[in-house]
């Protein structure tokens, strides 16, 4: 707990010290100036819009892949997760390159679509690249639901739609809140998409202030206002989660829910799922593939590509494991032993994710140079920064799994002589393993695409796939960026595929036991 609290509070202390270098009058002028209020309006509006967009994409897709007998559900699940492998800035470039008078649609089909930019472009790019966070949380929750409540409601004469609205949706609230929180925090901290789409938000303004070294005090004020906004979201989420319990209380084992036969509606299900996949996977992959033709003509830099791949994996994989290990006790205490102290620790875990990456990295630089100078510009510092920053992505899935793990099983194990740790390892850990795997997937995929932390904290000569993709794409050298972007998507997709295979392997013994 001390590691979690210390790691996430360091950036906050740094921002406070920076901001209070100015006198109170100056601080007040910075807060109430017109541009700051416009940034607040833009940021809140974009976050709300993306939450609505991701919900509209994730909920139907999660239901189709878990509660229906639709053939090809495994492939549709993979397509629903693959957008996590596409960096947001690549998604934005793809949308911009497809639209406009000289876009791909105009050149190939003669269809001129106004170039996406501003709020619409940022909303669409962020919705398409972040909805898998909500999709995976909802999918995990659907798989863990006990169908007895639905069957009881149907026995009382409720139709399927009313059962879904009145029985199923309330049980999905933890997954909605966990996934929605990740989406909101991602939108609040993003600067790549909003900068390309020319849409001013807090994070983009903060990046400009730090990068151009205009006014570090104003940048600290912007970061603190962003943290206050994030804190309000965290408090709201904690309030909505308070008192929720959805595990079984009666004896016996849970059963797998009956899958619905869609009949002629299956074509509508396929159209929706494939349409989402086309926009979120095929479009960016096809655009990057088009860039790849230029790269192939000039020769693919295999040596540099291999080195960048190794650097990316060597930092992302340890960060994923470390973040999951840090998130497990935080989520366990929050669910099993709720108290003001555990709630503070759980909410504090989100501060690292809520802190703008650039400010987070600068704070760690100041801390490492002053306290542990030997750690500066080392791989260990970068891995720690990844783990602390993305730990919020690991907490949500573990917490959702713990809400569905009956605590009386652990109590029974302790009554039989097991120690608290032994009871947890033998009884509870197998029930939350799926959530841990999802947590590690989230962190790995996010770390593979991370830019600001890598810019400032990476060792000398450490060049990841994300750094190479961004540096080339920023200069409109799309052909040179293509091999690195494709490698990010390929490795991430491979990792997601392995994750889904492990999940299905763990489901088969459980299904056999229930039958």
Q: What is the pLDDT of residues 309-334, one digit of tens each?
A: 999 999 999 999 999 888 888 877 77
Query: Which residues make beta-bridge pairs with 68?
Result: 260
Judge whether 466 lies within some domain. yes
Q: Phi and psi (nearest 5°) for 57?
A: -90, -40
Judge whether 255 lies within some domain. no
Judge whether 253 lies within some domain. no
Judge whether 256 lies within some domain. no
The pLDDT-based confidence of 46 (bands split at 50, 70, 90) is: very high
Judge whether 111 lies within some domain. yes
Whether 459 has a pLDDT exceeding 70, the answer reads: yes
Q: Percent of the chain beyond pLDDT 90?
A: 11
How far is the C-alpha of 344 from the C-alpha of 364, rounded, in Å? 22
Q: Sort 238 into a burial class: Cβ within 10 Å, 0-12 / 13-18 / 19+.
A: middle
Judge whether 487 lies within some domain. yes
Tell me which residue of 427, 514, 404 sits closest to 141, measured CA to CA: 404
How far is the C-alpha of 133 from the C-alpha of 80, rounded, in Å? 10
Residue 322's pLDDT is: 92
Residues 106-117: tens digit of each pLDDT: 777 777 788 888
Residue 514's pLDDT is: 45
Judge whether 475 lies within some domain. yes
Whether 77 has a pLDDT exceeding 70, the answer reads: yes
Residue with tokens 């603190």: 224
Whether 48 has a pLDDT exceeding 90, the answer reads: yes
User: Is 484 within 8 Å of 470 (Cβ atoms)?
Assistant: no
How far is the C-alpha of 190 from the C-alpha of 196, rounded, in Å? 11
Average of per-residue pLDDT across 58-87 = 84
Residue 176's pLDDT is: 84
User: Is 228 within 8 Å of 216 (Cβ atoms)?
Assistant: no
Judge whether 36 lies within some domain. yes
- 332-339: which pairs have CB atoms within 8 A and are 24 or more residues apart? 332/398, 332/402, 332/424, 332/428, 334/399, 335/399, 335/402, 335/403, 336/402, 336/407
Residues 371-398: tens digit of each pLDDT: 788 888 899 999 999 998 888 778 877 8
> What mean pLDDT, rounded, does the chain reach?
77
Residue 318's pLDDT is: 94
User: Is 86 within 8 Å of 448 (Cβ atoms)?
Assistant: no
Average of per-residue pLDDT across 354-374 = 77
Whether 163 has a pLDDT exceeding 90, the answer reads: no
Which range is least confidently modeled, 75-79, 227-231, 296-300? Answer: 296-300
403 vs 117, higher pLDDT: 117
Residue 119's pLDDT is: 92
Residues 282-310: tens digit of each pLDDT: 888 888 887 777 666 666 777 788 899 99
DSSP 8-class letter at 297: H
Into how many domains does the chain fold?
Answer: 1
Whether 249 has a pLDDT exceeding 50, the answer reads: no
Whether 157 has a pLDDT exceeding 70, the answer reads: no
Residue with tokens 């989230």: 442
360 vs 274, higher pLDDT: 274
Domain of 376, CATH number, reads: 1.10.3720.10
Number of H helices, E strands in the chain: 27, 0
How far is the C-alpha of 321 from the C-alpha of 390, rounded, in Å? 11
Structural domain containing residue 304: 2-248+264-514
Query: Which residues make beta-bridge pairs with 260?
Result: 68
- At residue 460, the 3 state secondary structure works out as coil
Whether 240 has a pLDDT exceeding 90, the answer reads: no
Which range is least confidently modeled, 25-29, 266-270, 341-345, 367-371? Answer: 25-29
Whether 56 has a pLDDT exceeding 90, the answer reads: yes
How far is the C-alpha of 217 from the C-alpha of 26, rounded, in Å? 10
């Amino acid at each position: 707990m001390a590691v979690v609290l210390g790691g996430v509070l360091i950036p906050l202390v740094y921002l406070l010290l920076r901001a209070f270098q100015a006198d109170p009058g100056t601080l007040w002028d910075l807060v109430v100036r017109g541009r700051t209020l416009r940034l607040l309006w833009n940021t809140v509006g974009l976050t709300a819009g993306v939450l609505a967009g991701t919900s509209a994409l994730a909920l139907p897709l999660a239901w189709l892949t878990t509660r229906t007998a639709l053939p090809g559900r495994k492939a549709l699940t993979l397509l629903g997760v693959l957008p996590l492998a596409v960096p947001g800035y690549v998604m934005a470039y793809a949308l911009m390159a497809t639209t406009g008078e000289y876009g791909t649609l105009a050149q190939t089909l003669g269809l001129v679509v106004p170039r996406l930019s501003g709020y619409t472009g940022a909303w669409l790019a962020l919705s398409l690249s972040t909805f898998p966070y909500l999709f995976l949380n909802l999918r995990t929750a659907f798989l863990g639901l006990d169908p007895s409540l639905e069957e009881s409601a149907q026995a009382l004469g409720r139709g399927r739609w009313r059962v879904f609205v009145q029985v199923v949706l309330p049980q999905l609230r933890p997954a909605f809140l966990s996934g929605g929180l990740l989406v909101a925090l991602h939108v609040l901290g993003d600067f790549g998409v909003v900068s390309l789409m020319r849409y001013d938000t807090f994070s983009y303004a903060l990046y400009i202030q730090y990068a151009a070294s205009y006014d570090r005090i104003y940048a600290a004020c912007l970061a603190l206002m962003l943290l206050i906004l994030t804190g309000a979201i965290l408090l709201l989420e904690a309030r909505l989660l308070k008192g929720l319990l959805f595990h079984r209380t009666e004896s016996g084992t849970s059963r797998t829910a009956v899958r619905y036969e869609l009949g002629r509606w299956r074509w509508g299900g396929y159209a929706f799922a494939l349409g989402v996949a086309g926009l979120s996977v095929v479009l960016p992959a096809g655009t990057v593939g088009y860039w790849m033709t230029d790269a192939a003509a000039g020769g693919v830099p295999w040596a540099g590509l291999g080195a960048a791949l190794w650097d990316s994996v060597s930092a992302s994989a340890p960060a994923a494991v470390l973040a999951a290990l840090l998130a497990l006790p935080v989520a366990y205490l929050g669910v099993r032993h709720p108290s003001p102290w555990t709630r503070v620790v759980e909410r504090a875990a989100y501060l690292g994710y809520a802190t703008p990456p650039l400010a987070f990295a600068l704070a760690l630089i100041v801390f490492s140079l002053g306290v542990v100078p030997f750690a500066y510009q080392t791989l260990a510092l970068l891995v720690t920064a990844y783990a602390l920053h993305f730990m919020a992505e690991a907490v949500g899935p573990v917490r959702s799994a713990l809400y569905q793990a009956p605590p009386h099983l652990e109590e029974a194990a302790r009554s039989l002589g097991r120690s608290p740790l032994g009871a947890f390892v033998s009884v509870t850990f197998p029930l939350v393993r799926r959530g841990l795997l999802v947590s590690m997937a989230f962190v790995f995929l996010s770390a593979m695409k991370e830019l600001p932390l890598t810019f400032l904290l990476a060792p000398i000569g450490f060049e990841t796939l994300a750094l190479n993709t961004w540096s080339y794409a920023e200069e409109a050298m799309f052909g040179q960026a293509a091999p690195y972007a494709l490698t990010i998507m390929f490795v991430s997709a491979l990792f997601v595929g392995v994750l889904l295979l492990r999940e299905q392997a763990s489901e088969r013994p459980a299904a056999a036991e229930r039958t």
